[in-house]
Chain A
């Protein structure tokens, strides 16, 4: 099954070669055709249970899909959230909510790939968010600011985290936040402004200004005040999945560097015959395989329902760093051609860098390991 899945994803991706992604990147447009085909083939619904129209597969298969997309030279970040944002709904939503949304998410008619948590004044410090949802009868009225909210313009639904009890009134700062499903198709004008952020990579991300946006009570997921716990519940899966994208990026770079170093002849022999070129490629590859092994360990623990926070975080850090090392190695191996757009290396170089800071900065990973794994003092 795993080999068959890997081959099938590779085959689909082979129809979207570098010039496709290059064109999408240059015009800063959305890879509509690729995402449509991926959706139609069912890949983005792999984690949704079969009763709701998905494939009911586990995180192992989801990792293979995302890894292969990035290894092919594609950019899974354009659509990966359609795969896992629904996790909050699946784990904590009511039967009614699941029946209302999951079948549409599974067949792609409902795009749930926006996740509004981060705020300008509350980045990694999530409990400091100030977006507030006031309960008024059978609805909530929400105002506040969100930033770096990706794919809002390519979503029908958005998961939103807002305070429902002011920070100063809660016993623990992790309490008093709630999670909502926002139906973006129903938002009246002037209630939500979406301001796109121009970025170094082709990634649709936005600033959101919510001004008395009304959300029906039935769109709240789970209990009021428990939202932070629900959000954390999906973090490990996200770390593991995004580590897989970095593994894919890393292998893209070593695949390409190896190939180029084997073909490019200078001073009468392929440059890959020189230790100065070959060894960095080999070393980058070792790093990627090491990160992948940690990712696999995280997957095993996740699948068995065991605590996997340490492994998921370590996998994310190792994979992001390994991919970035490989990106630099590929740039060196390609020399000037690495900077030429048609080779694809410079585009993937920009894209691979993101994972050093997103969805969580590697420093936050280290603080987690230091404090919660090693038992050292809190470092921030």
Chain B
């Protein structure tokens, strides 16, 4: 079975983010970019599904600029078979991304499309459901584990207080969250093999977006903490401050 995994290049979650000139985007200088952690779950899920079925191919794709090749290579190093870079200027508009992906996916027509539940940078959780809608395919979001059999995919979702099991007919779109798919790390063999795997670059038409980012603001600076005393003697003062100043008691 052909499995397509849509991935995104995002700043490393440990990177210190600064807002760029103009205040509408982040300053990319000195930022380390990685394959979005949720997308790693999706790639891992795809690889395990392929291994479980004993056949098929895993293709990874992303919509972005030339630098996104590096992100695709990371997925190839994990074990994906081939990669397609949809070259164009990506925006914060999830619908634009979904439209670009949908055009490509209609052409490739893979029975199973996987995405991370959300991108670790924008956190919007839009692209998966929008893509499914554009394609007219069923969609399960935030799936912790799934299994493919007989033209169907059975998904397990962790919901408030329990588990929900869904069955979808293929072709389908699934977004994957942290669950059963702890990603494998790339081995040296994998990194070397990735260099030789096909990576196709396809320039794409980027549809008009009706969404603009107005402003980005960093979180407010944290005020310095205060030591109110030491040992049991400090308790009374702490309680007083929590009641009178912080008003949390």
Which residue numbers of A lie inside 8 Å of B, CB to CB? 1, 3-5, 8, 11-12, 40-43, 45-46, 55, 57, 65, 268
Contact = CB atoms under 8 A, between A and B. Distances in A.
B170 interface: no
B204 interface: no
Nearest to A44: B188
B191 A46 contact: no
B187 A42 contact: yes
B189 A55 contact: yes
Contacts of B189: 41-42, 55
Interface residues of B, number: 15
Contacts of B227: 268
B191 to A, nearest CB: 6
Contacts, number: 40
Interface of B: 32, 70, 73-74, 77, 185-192, 195, 227
Contacts of A46: 188
A5 B186 CA distance: 9
Nearest to A12: B185
Contacts of A5: 188, 191
12 contacts: A1-B191, A4-B74, A4-B186, A5-B188, A5-B191, A8-B77, A8-B185, A8-B187, A11-B186, A45-B188, A55-B189, A268-B227
Contacts of B77: 4, 8
Given A4-B73, A4-B74, A4-B77, A42 B185 contact: no
Nearest to B183: A11
Contacts of B187: 8, 12, 40-43
Nearest to A11: B185
B192 A42 contact: yes
A45 B187 CA distance: 12
A353 B77 CA distance: 37
Contacts of B195: 1
B83 to A, nearest CB: 15
Nearest to B70: A4
